[in-house]
Amino acid sequence: MAKHQFDVIVIGTGPAGESAAMNAAKKGKSVAIVDRRADVGGNCTHQGTIPSKALRHAVDALMKFNRTSLFRAISDPKVLDYQTMLNSARGVIRKQVEMRARFYARNHISVFHGDASFVDSNTVLLKEGEHANELLHGENIVIATGSRPYRPPEVDFDHPRMHDSDTILTMTETPKRIVIYGAGVIGCEYASIFSGLGVKVDLVNPGSRLLAFMDDEISDALSYHMRNHGVLIRHNETFKSVKGFEDHIELTLESGKVLKAEAFMWANGRAGNTETLNLSAIGLEANSRGQLEVDKEYRTSVENIFAVGDVIGWPSLASAAYDQGRSASGAILDDFTATFFSDIPTGIYTIPEISSVGKNERELTEARVPYEVGKAYFKDTARAQITGEDTGVLKILFHRETLELLGIHCFGEQAAEILHIGQAIMVQKNGGNTLEYFVSHTFNYPTMAEAYRVAALNGLNRLDD
């Protein structure tokens, strides 16, 4: 049985694992990285962020084509099937895998393929895969195994018409109607995607509003926009059972409603990928969701073992996972730039996008913070009028007395990009994080960034009223 010695072993090649491995390797450590797949990239590249966002982009492009009057003059509206949209995503996945494989080779990181299982706190046994039965020994180990969709036992996912957010990427037909159970980030994103393809969507929400953690006004805007595009949103409905037939499914809700469709997607919860790690061998125990608890350095209760990314739960974002992985390896290296990230921007790739950083109105009201609001509606900006993407709003929350920026919320085309301008100003020190920045600096015209100036002036005018 072959045994290999390393300074650092990283289990998982998603964003968290990749950044942990790269940071350690660039600081001179010998690094091994392990993945159960034959290709690197983790769930993010193969079943999560990359394919779903590439699919979303393709559908969004189709929607733009069909509503642009210039194109209508030369062509009838186009109707493309789900498989055609997925093909564009597969090309992106291939490019991502090739790029990341080059990164590992360039940085002399040893890549192993197999299922990792702990023997002790310094030793990992690889099962199955290309490197089955090989042992890896490391001074420090980083668990970055990601997560998978939660699968309730009462749903028959072997039925060809029943899917989760992984298997929906293998669906071969374009359904006329789909029922999506769960209206969190994943459920809302796929509701937008299928609606954009002309599929009738029933979005079943166990809660009382979409994306309840977001600013209420932004959540309401998404609800309105989805309904305007034909999505039927059913709030406060809970799952009872679902049955699959040859040509349809039937979802029964606790309220007694029965929904019929050609496809069903379960999008309600995720679980950490820890079940095959043999955690008992090192004295670790995952919670009921398969997640691990860590401290501010992403260290578990075992001194030399760290955990990062989706496997530790919130916020379960690829962007945060990169930072967490770098910080965990920073702690291993005694690099004091390691940071525990808490104020993380949220990007939700519905159509249109939603993005947010900082506090929302509900939180500021509950904390009795004297705040004011500045808004810029996209329909009033020249750039949005030029591009035809005039649905949306930029919303700035700021302190009435100090003008300090407290929260930035955006709904509309390129919201996830636009947000970062406000985020950059929010973290400025020595009084630089105020609304005044946006009125004392010149913005290119016409741009979407100019919305910050418009929103700032709108907010200042409220103080004068």
Q: What residue numbers does the annotated binding site for NAD(+) cover?
A: 182-189, 269
- Which own/partner contact pairs does 336-342 have at CB distance under 8 Å and 24+ positions apart? 338/297, 340/296, 340/297, 340/298
Binding-site entries: 53, 145-147, 182-189, 269, 310
Pick from 391, 366, 370: nearest CA to 380: 391
Binding-site entries for FAD: 53, 145-147, 310
Measured CA to CA, the distance from residue 413 to residue 350 in angstroms comes to 10
Measured CA to CA, the distance from residue 177 to residue 58 in angstroms comes to 20
Give Cβ neighbours of residue 111 (< 8 Å, ≥ 6 apart): 13, 32, 33, 34, 35, 40, 101, 104
8 A C-beta contact, residue 388 and residue 67: yes
Residue 343, classed as helix, strand or coil, is coil
8 A C-beta contact, residue 264 and residue 140: no
Measured CA to CA, the distance from residue 143 to residue 276 in angstroms comes to 12
Measured CA to CA, the distance from residue 49 to residue 319 in angstroms comes to 10
59-72 burial by CB neighbour count: b if 16+ within 10 A, else e?
bbebbbebeeeeee
Give Cβ neighbours of residue 461 (< 8 Å, ≥ 6 apart): none
Q: How many beta carbons lie within 10 A of that of residue 188, not counting itself? A: 28
Residue with tokens 């037909």: 173
Q: Which two tokens stand for residue 74?
A: 């030369």
**Which element (helix H / strand E) includes 330?**
helix 318-332
Q: Where are the alpha helices (DSSP H) in 370-464?
A: 382-387, 415-426, 436-440, 451-464
Measured CA to CA, the distance from residue 218 to residue 359 in angstroms comes to 13
Residue with tokens 């406060």: 236
